[in-house]
Amino acid sequence: MASYTQIGPIEAEDILQLYGRSKVLKLTPLSLGISNSNYRVDLEQESVLLKISNDKNQLQLAEEQAILLYLNQRGYPYSLRPFALSSGELVYHYAPYFGVLYPFVEGIPPGPSDYTCKEVGAALASLHTLKHEASELKKLRHHEAVGFGALEILNYSKSPLCPPDYQEAVQYFFPDQLKNFLATDFEKGIIHGDLYYDNTLFDNNHLRTVLDFEQAGLGEFILDLGISLSGTCLEKGRIITPLVNSYLSGYEAIRPLRTEEKKHLDNAIILGLMSISLWRIKRFKERNLNPLMEDSYRDLIVRAMNYYQMKQQENV
């Protein structure tokens, strides 16, 4: 994990002055994020979330804010709107630091449950049903700029950098090299890319905010769905069918799945796990952001194996 960036009230005050804000009353460090150091800053009239980037470069951070601003303009109710600096830019630069500022939203991360799955499914479907102008979408990045889809997973499994167990897993799960999956023209739009249940905040048992759009971009809805299902419908670390059904009930109440999406849903769930597994390889194994998590990618391979074998037994 990247080192947690520590700042004091004076530095926070200097950063907030770039936004035309001042008089920091209280500065509270929050979670030790992989990509960000997070602080709650209480001011006289409001509380804000100050994020300092530890991992992403300024271009990636600016592209993420452009997506969040666009989603806010399109009326997506679950994403945070970044504050703009006095200059109009969305990413601040202060001394060695750069980052972003958001409104602070009260809420708690939920635990996995039928209700959580249904609400998260509905939130993702709401994202997937937004209407877009083609000219506006052209201004936004593709998911593959920050995440990994089916083709990227296959290509990496054949590279000399690929760990042997990851390569073996890809070959085991997809002996056909995902020929039919890659040949299918899935519906595309803006995807979140990492909507696990712990990337949400709930208030009074209702989903209030979707967090961490770091892997958001233009991509296939089926991949986004697979990623979200694989990290939300969990009981004791395993994907279970009742929670998947609860999730899909929330999702399909807003956006019914297409025939081709239903056909490839199991593959999408395994791809979702292999996608986040590769994300961990890139950060923890290749870039050594946290030596203690170097082998954490294997946890997702195990989860994928458990799901694969469960589906095999169901189909007997």
- Return d(Cα 69, Cα 90) in angstroms, integer: 9
Cα 79 to Cα 106, 136, 243: the distances in Å are: 13, 18, 24
pLDDT of residue 3: 45
User: pLDDT tens digits for 113-138?
Assistant: 999 999 999 999 999 999 999 999 99
Length of the chain, please? 316
State the DSSP code for 142. B
Q: Give the model's pLDDT for residue 32.
A: 52
Domain extent listing, the chain: 9-103, 114-314
Express each pLDDT in 58-88 by its tens digit. Answer: 999 999 999 999 999 999 999 999 999 999 9
Q: Give the pLDDT confidence score for residue 35 in this predicted structure.
A: 67
Ranges of residues in the chain whose predicted pLDDT is under 70 = 1-4, 32-35, 316
Beta bridge partners of 98: 93
> CATH topology for 9-103?
Phosphorylase Kinase; domain 1 (3.30.200)
- The predicted structure's pLDDT at residue 33: 59
Dihedral over Cα of 259, 265, 267, 273: its sign? positive
Q: May I ask the CATH architecture of the domain 114-314?
A: Alpha-Beta Complex (3.90)
Distance CA 258, CA 268 (A): 14
> Can you spell out the DSSP letters for 65-108?
HHHHHHHHHTT-TTSPPPPPPTTS-SSEEETTEEEEEEE----B
Contacts of 57 (CB under 8 A, 6+ apart): none
**pLDDT at residue 251 in the model:** 98
Give the per-residue pLDDT at 1: 30
